[in-house]
A and B are shown apart, each in its own frame.
Chain A
Amino acid sequence: MVAPHLCRVPAVDDSAELDAERALVERAQAGERDALGEILRKHGPRLYRSVLLPRLGSPATAEEALSRTYVKVIERFDQFSWQAVGVYPWLRVVALRVALDLLRSRKRELLFEPEHVERELDAAEAERGAREADALERHDLNCAKERVRELLLQINPRYADAIRMRVLEERSREDAALALGVSVATFDVVLHRAMAALRKALSEGGSEA
């Protein structure tokens, strides 16, 4: 399935837009909160969609993380130094750090372990803003999907099929049951067992990446 909304936030992909963003950054660093607000209004939804929600797994936690990200950005924006690809890579690193803190404080299983985000942060620091916002967003969304696929590989293929059809593709019970060649009632049981198997895989580490 193709992830929707990829292009809803305009990309910083041409020089005019980058120039405009740079002017905003300079105004923000001079203390204009409106300018900083404009930057965050533009990139915040992308941080939520591609960095925070996939890793934290719930809208409420992702919103909390976005809020904390904003506070950190506001406190530290004077430390940002302009990069050719714009401000998004720096914002993404701040968001990843917030996500890492939240992942470490959570006791229940999530799809991502803190080590996953630590590796992302290491990679971000190694490449030092070599990729622009759209490329980073594609990377983040693909990472999250890859993580789901990787988890599904650790359970029975029929279980993985059940989860894929019913949860990820949102197909009807009848449709999914037909595809698996079982009755609808049986499919319900298979899906329940599939989720239990997935939980077991998560509790046993679930990270082979």
Chain B
Amino acid sequence: MTEISERDSEPELPELDAAEEARLSALLCHAFRPSEIDPARHERLLLAALEDPFAEASPEELVESERLRQALDGKGDHQDLHLARALSAAFTPSLARPLPEPPLSAKTARKRSAQVIFVRFAGVAAALAVAAAVLLRLTPDLAKHSAPAPDLATLALAQSRSTAEFFSADSAGAPSERIDRIASVRSRELRDNRYALWGVR
């Protein structure tokens, strides 16, 4: 049997990792011996395409769309509000104010009323806080030395953004290295943002 001893019959070949090799193999197979689309998947694609997004709305749809609009504005609840919040959190995690929480249901409110002792405790704590504020007001020198509220417009916080740049064809390193790099950059930016908001940057 012939064994490989040298590669001088070929010019220098590029490095090819296992994932890229598998991708090239798949390209060849799909061109040379294309497979069928899964019938169930095709049916889903077709039905989705055939659905008319601009079809006339039914009365129920009008009612539900108004409820959703109000829920998104922070008034009332809607089952799709939770989904919208999940999508928003997954797609653009940021320091911005999240979508409004739905109001507590009556059942939850009743449950909470059993915890009246904690409410009373909170009332006492609030009264103490008011007293402390009055004290601070009466001693302006103390207030002068406290940290000013941060001006968000001037803090130049790091913004959430796409990680596409880490996945360009030129990006060096294996996928796990790129993920590590993204995690590292994101952690650093989160710390920087916190320090900026605390006024310690």
Contacts and interface: CB of A to CB of B under 8 A. Distances in A.
Interface of A: 1, 3-5, 8, 33, 36-37, 40-41, 44-45, 48-50, 53-59, 62-63, 66-67, 70-71, 74, 107-108, 110-112, 141, 144-145, 147-148, 156, 163, 167-168, 180-183, 186, 189-190, 192-193, 195-200, 202-203
Contact of B27 (A74, A111, A196): A111
Main DSSP-derived SS at the A contact region? helix
Nearest to B55: A33
B42 A48 contact: yes
Contact of A189 (B4, B10, B36): B4
B35 interface: yes
Contacts of A3: 33-34
Given A63-B41, A70-B45, A108-B169, A156 B9 contact: yes
Contact of A50 (B9, B34, B41): B34
B19 to A, nearest CB: 11
A193 B10 contact: yes
A44 to B, nearest CB: 6
Contact of B50 (A4, A74, A197): A74
Contact of B46 (A44, A199, A203): A44
Nearest to A197: B13
A145 B9 contact: no
Nearest to B11: A200
B48 interface: yes
Given A8-B36, A58-B26, A168-B28, A67 B169 contact: no
Nearest to B39: A45
B168 interface: yes
A29 B73 CA distance: 41
B24 to A, nearest CB: 5
Q: Which of A55, A147, A195, A197 has the most CB of B within 10 A?
A: A195
Contacts of A57: 26-27, 30-31
A196 B4 contact: no
A71 B13 contact: no
A180 B45 CA distance: 44
26 contacts: A1-B33, A4-B33, A33-B50, A40-B49, A44-B37, A45-B39, A48-B42, A49-B37, A57-B26, A57-B27, A59-B30, A111-B28, A141-B34, A145-B31, A156-B9, A168-B32, A182-B1, A182-B3, A186-B4, A195-B16, A195-B20, A196-B15, A196-B16, A198-B24, A199-B24, A200-B13
Interface in B147-162: none
A203 B52 contact: no
Contacts of B52: 33
Nearest to A54: B31
B32 A107 contact: no
Contacts of A197: 10, 13
